[in-house]
Structure 1
Amino acid sequence: MTAVLGGCGVVDGIGGSEDVTLRLVAADYGDSAANSSVKYWDTLVDEYEAEHPDVKIDVTVYSWNDVDRKVKEMVDAGHAPDLAQIGAYADYAAKGLLYKAGDLLSIRTQADFVHQLAGAGEVKDVQYGLPFASSTRLLFYNKTLFNKAGLTPPKTWNDLAADAEALKARGVTYPYALPLGPEEAQAETMQWLLSGGGGYTDRVGTYDIDSTENADTLTWLRDELVGKGLTGPVAPGKLDRADAFAAFADGDVGMLNGHPTLMKIATAKGVKVGMVPMPGVDGASDVAMGVADWMMAFRENGHAEQAGDFLDFVYSEKNVLAFSREYDLLPVTNSASEIMSTAQQDADLRPFLKELPLSELYPVGKTSWADVSAHIKQQMGQAVAPGGDPKAVLKRLQGTASAAQGTS
């Protein structure tokens, strides 16, 4: 999906002044033409251009299936956009192609970013990635199925397994849906690893994928959920997140990890949704999984001043709130988060917002993360399959990550 909202290149204006056109490539967060991100950018750009007649903003919106590839093709061809709002920034930053956040934004805007998100936008302690959208994950459960089975939401792994056993006994198709298929296995995996006291990296940011904690977590999943038939008829390694979400919205899933979009989808289909923090070994997990998408500014065209001014406008409290509310996402700024935490219209997002300060994000500041993530998607389902070897899978992934560590 493409929308050109204004501008036709850099031209000399009347009286010798120079007009500037900024090219922005953005991802589409909508699920139909009615709520396409084209409309969000259209409104925002019209307002900005009315106040800045010497700057035009040319926006192209692509689906998430295409946007990262499109930007890469543009950069490789020597025609980088001025701004890109996509899924990853680290590779471009490592190649020296991006402006630093401090070269673009006002001090007020830069200081307003949520701390965890700003930190995730850094490469070697310098921020290049500007968080644009964020989310956290909670354990979703079907209230109707739980009430019929006389269950309470789980607080520990053993509670979760016991609830899943009870749901299976009542014929629930997916007592716990464990999507470790190629769509987003890295997210489900990370949620579980964090709840087991591990994760993809250690405290200093070095890959620690084959840690004892991670091996113990995957072994528990293999033996206590998958091995006992509590994850449904589709093998976790073949179950994608989208299919798991669809099954939950159809009332066929007792529990699964989800984000705010699932709440909206399931509620629209009449499912009574409950949400609690991810269970841990002995109680609720101390760390939630967070995710973020990124805005970045390329140096190629030299429009730092204009790009920075436009980004200050993009990250204004009003515009951050408008985007977050339109797409059921969490705001990336403290000012917007404070409003959402008390506004009645945002009550459904508060449980996710509460988890954000406790969240840990993917190691997106590493240029190696894209490759490591791809290997996790391919292999993690094998680790928890009956007869699978979690330690062997984690060792292979650690080898992949360590080989790339020196350049990331």
Structure 2
Amino acid sequence: MSALGMVAVLSGCSGSSDADSQDVTLKLVAADYGDSKANSSQKYWDKLVKEYEKKHPGIKIDVSVHSWNDVDAKVKKMVADGHAPDMAQIGAYADYAAKNQLYKVDELLSIPVQADFVSRLAEAGEVRRVQYGMPFASSTRLLFYNKKLFADAGLTPPQSWSDLAAAAKVLKSRGVKIPYALPLGHEEAQAETMMWLLSGGGGYVDGVSSYGLDSEQNVDTFDWLKNELVAKGLTGPTAPGKLNRADAFAAFTRGDVGMLNGHPSLMQAAAKKGVKFGMVPMPGINGKSKATMGVADWMMAFKQNGHAEQVGDFLDFVYSEKNVLEFSHTYDLLPVTARASEAMAADKNDKRLDPFLKELSNAELYPVAKTSWAQVSADIKQQIGKAVSPNASPTAILGQLQRSAAAAENSE
């Protein structure tokens, strides 16, 4: 595990008596991982805060939970208005780090807690080799397939692009509505895109960490998607650019989809609807993809109000093995610390998450350390679906996205 920032400011060491001796209210704005009021993240935080405040009577934690549709904008407005929260658990940290608005992680956490982060995730929280973002939740992606549809058709899970296309062709011939769901709609097109780019040997950035959206590998990947899947009617009746991830997942739980890329929460949704499914690593051109996509959400602490000592003490508690595991179990997500990951791997009740855990060490994350990523991601969501439309050119669309990305990067 990567012990980043070993020259640490230890004011945030867990159990600090000074942290207990001051009357302080810390404000945390957090994202909601639940899909209803019954499993809202507010319940998780309320329970955790109650336990913490019982042991630290001088500190109050005020947590407000907002949907993913609103939480990033909520924090952005609070900061712009001069009322930054003490902590925010949201989707990106780099913009705030670039403006020197965040504490460094080694100004907050005790060394054992900081060193316990999964190294792949901790590194993704760095800007110029300094960690500002603390991973809070993570997941990887696997290819889900409908076991009944595959068994009825005498198919085996695909291991390569040609296997996937051949299976989709058979499923189509048997009347399956969506042989392969390709959600390139505005909701989360950047995720489906990245999975395919990685499986084709490319990605969002080149070897020197500059954007490389129009690389030869990426163009070849979208040429293949357009010609071998979309043009042959293997992605269903809805144009990929108009298909959102949530709709694709819902169709899978209805039994209308043969294959699609999914994250751990899809397991529970499919099981509730009685859909029997299997999961395999994302196929590559000639075999298993060399890398899979990982996603992390972030905790960060703003400097505006001070309270580094109290914030650090609370976050040490948040990142205890017990609390990390409880959150991961509640929302079918992967732990962000080594100890919790090892505990999950050893627990027979967590076997369903083993395939996702195994992919985490090989996962590639979004280029979240770039302040330009938010804009580039938004552009991809808006434009990438056009790359597989009948009259469009993948080369032209990816070229346009690359020019915009390079301009955004140069303005960082």
Answer yes or no: is 1:276 the counterpart of 2:280: yes
Matched with 2:371 is: 367
Alpha-carbon shift at residue 137 of structure 1 (Å) = 0.3
Deviation by residue 1:353-386 (Cα, 9 ceiling, x = unmatched): 1000000000011010011011111111111112
1:56 to 53, 56, 60: 60
Answer yes or no: is 1:170 the counterpart of 2:170: no
| Percent of aligned pairs with the same amino acid | 71
State how far apart, in whole Å, the 2-side matches of 1:405 and 1:380 are: 19
Answer yes or no: is 1:344 the counterpart of 2:358: no
1:128 to 121, 132, 140: 132
5 Å matches for 1:67-146? Answer: 67-146=71-150
Amino acid at match of 1:216: D
Matched with 1:45 is: 49
Matched with 2:34 is: 30
1:323 to 304, 327, 335: 327
More displaced 10-residue stretch of structure 1: 253-262 or 201-210? 201-210
Give the RMSD, CA atoms, in angstroms: 0.8
Deviation by residue 1:311-364 (Cα, 9 ceiling, x = unmatched): 000000000000000000000001000011120111111110100000000001
Where in structure 1 are there 5+ consecutive unaligned residues? 1-16
Match of 2:361, SS?
helix
Matched with 1:387 is: 391
Matched with 1:300 is: 304
Alpha-carbon shift at residue 299 of structure 1 (Å) = 0.2
Amino acid at match of 1:400: S
Match of 1:305, SS?
helix
Alignment check: 8 A CA contact 2:143 2:280 kept: yes
Match of 1:207, SS?
coil
Matched with 1:11 is: none
Matched with 1:4 is: none
Answer yes or no: is 1:255 the counterpart of 2:263: no
Alpha-carbon shift at residue 203 of structure 1 (Å) = 2.3
Moved segments of 4+, more than 2 Å? none
State how far apart, in whole Å, the 1-side matches of 2:355 and 2:255 are: 22
Deviation by residue 1:25-53 (Cα, 9 ceiling, x = unmatched): 01111111211111111111111111111
State how far apart, in whole Å, the 2-side matches of 1:224 and 1:294 are: 37
Deviation by residue 1:150-209 (Cα, 9 ceiling, x = unmatched): 000000000000000000000000000000000000000000000000000012211111
TM-score if structure 1 supplies the norm length? 0.95
Amino acid at match of 1:182: H
Matched with 1:215 is: 219
1:159 to 156, 163, 169: 163
Where in structure 2 are there 5+ consecutive unaligned residues? 1-20
Alpha-carbon shift at residue 115 of structure 1 (Å) = 1.0
Match of 2:374, SS?
helix
More displaced 10-residue stretch of structure 1: 380-389 or 22-31? 380-389
Amino acid at match of 1:89: Y
State how far apart, in whole Å, the 2-side matches of 1:407 and 1:386 are: 34
Alpha-carbon shift at residue 116 of structure 1 (Å) = 1.1
Match of 1:341, SS?
helix
Matched with 2:8 is: none
Alpha-carbon shift at residue 406 of structure 1 (Å) = 2.6
2:357 to 349, 353, 366: 353
Alignment check: 8 A CA contact 1:121 1:131 kept: yes
Alignment check: 8 A CA contact 2:22 2:59 kept: no
Match of 2:330, SS?
helix
Alpha-carbon shift at residue 391 of structure 1 (Å) = 0.7
Amino acid at match of 1:201: V
More displaced 10-residue stretch of structure 1: 371-380 or 159-168? 371-380
State how far apart, in whole Å, the 1-side matches of 2:300 and 2:207 are: 27
Match of 1:197, SS?
coil
Amino acid at match of 1:78: G
Match of 1:45, SS?
helix
Matched with 2:15 is: none
Count of residue pairs the alignment pairs up: 392
5 Å matches for 1:228-243? Answer: 228-243=232-247
More displaced 10-residue stretch of structure 1: 185-194 or 29-38? 29-38
Amino acid at match of 1:359: A
State how far apart, in whole Å, the 2-side matches of 1:245 and 1:391 are: 29
Alpha-carbon shift at residue 260 of structure 1 (Å) = 0.5
State how far apart, in whole Å, the 2-side matches of 1:407 and 1:289 are: 27
Alpha-carbon shift at residue 218 of structure 1 (Å) = 0.3
Amino acid at match of 1:294: W
Alpha-carbon shift at residue 18 of structure 1 (Å) = 3.5
State how far apart, in whole Å, the 2-side matches of 1:203 and 1:304 are: 37
Amino acid at match of 2:100: G
State how far apart, in whole Å, the 2-side matches of 1:121 and 1:172 are: 42
State how far apart, in whole Å, the 2-side matches of 1:397 and 1:146 are: 37
Alignment check: 8 A CA contact 1:222 1:388 kept: no
Amino acid at match of 2:86: D
Amino acid at match of 2:179: P
Alpha-carbon shift at residue 112 of structure 1 (Å) = 0.6
